[in-house]
Amino acid sequence: MRRVVCPGSFDPVTNGHIDIIGRAARQNDEVIAAILNNVNKHGLFSVEEKLEMLAESTREFGNVRVAQFGGLLVDFCRENGVSAIVRSLRSVSDFDYELQIAQMNYQLSGVETLFMTANPQYSFLSSSLVKEVAQHGGDVSSLVTPFVEERLRAKYAARG
């Protein structure tokens, strides 16, 4: 069984994330969409909220499950029988950053990193950009699922 992981902060999950997860799901037996629980970083959404949004956004893929991890991704890979990490590349600058991480992960554990180029439709998309647009009342309906859009609107409405 080929099991891969698509790691991220998913704060929030975007259509770009879902595209990569779905493409990985078509090529592998199982995909774990894993949320990094970084206690030093406070996102807009809690880990529990992100898990809920990610599960709802990927439910159409029968071979995708969601999880969370803390610490090193390679430790999560070892503990879960993951053979490769799937990462998205939107630009050349992404590659420079991701290559260093991929090489470190391989050095630490032998776990491979597979790079997928972003769908051009989503190559500009980031969670930070989605949050900024949503915070100012902009239309994010083409950038996230309706479920995530609803959660964004509720989060910013509660903040006043």
| Of 3, 23, 90, 155, catalytic | 90
**61 labeled binding residue:** no
| Of 17, 50, 131, 151, catalytic | 17
| Of 41, 42, 136, 159, catalytic | 41
**73 labeled binding residue:** yes
Annotated catalytic residue 42: no
Return the ∠ at Cα 94 (arms to 92 and 95), rounded to 5°: 65
From the list 79, 78, 90, the residue with the least C-alpha distance to 115 is: 90
Query: Contact at 8 Å (CB) between 93 and 18?
Result: no
Annotated catalytic residue 131: no
Annotated catalytic residue 90: yes
Phi-psi region of 139 (alpha: psi -120 to 50; beta: other; left: phi over 0): beta
**46 labeled binding residue:** no
Annotated catalytic residue 78: no
Structure tokens given for 87: 């990462």
**136 labeled binding residue:** no
| Of 50, 57, 88, 127, catalytic | 127
Instruction: Report d(CA 16, CA 22) in Å as an integer.
Output: 10
Residue positions forming the annotated binding site: 9-10, 17, 41, 73, 87, 98, 122-128
Residue positions forming the annotated binding site for substrate: 9, 41, 73, 87
Catalytic residues: 17, 41, 90, 127
